Amino acid sequence: MQPQQSILVKLETELGVALRANNILIDIKLFTRGNLRYRFKAGRTDANGTLLIMYSALEKQRASKAMQLLMDYNTPLTDCDPRVELSAPSDAELRTAAQAVLQNFGTQPDWTVPWPANSQIEAAPVTVELLDATTQKTMLCVHRRTNSEFWRPSGN
């Protein structure tokens, strides 16, 4: 990933309807020569079910982690492949990750407050090829809630 690049993630149903899902935590995996190098919490969707992932936010995470684990986080993001993977971890995966951080470091990770709304959706990981300054990518989701303002077609 290069400093001028960003990714605009949009959640949609399988019918192509915008899924206005707020507070969905998105993970990003970065690779070097096809091998997994980094996995970061990229951020949370807004009320429109969108998230803009900026290079600067990922670099800030990498630099922060490098302060504690230099050898694990010493590869610049600019050395990573242009192909990344985005996912919305399940609630069970998030709970397992939070428990692991608590056990290993004695504190809850900052992304647990507020707790992500990932239990409300199910989404398959998607691969993104970063070619332009801003790459748009849709994540197809199955919505688990009904009778809610959470899911409504765009423009309504």
Residue 114 belongs to domain with CATH number:
2.60.40
Q: Are strands 83-87 and 35-44 parallel, antiparallel or unpaired?
A: unpaired
* Structural domains of the chain, count: 1
Task: Summarize pLDDT for 94-153 with one digit per residue, the tens.
Answer: 999 999 999 988 999 999 999 999 999 999 999 999 988 999 999 999 877 543 444 444
Write out the residue range of the structural domain in which residue 125 sits.
6-143
User: Which residues make Cβ contacts (< 8 Å) with residue 105, sequence separation at least 6?
Assistant: none
Residue 148 lies in a domain: no
* Model confidence pLDDT, tens digit, residues 19-53: 999 999 999 999 999 999 999 999 999 999 999 99
Specify if 1 maps to a domain.
no
Q: Contact, 130 vs 4, CB < 8 A?
A: no
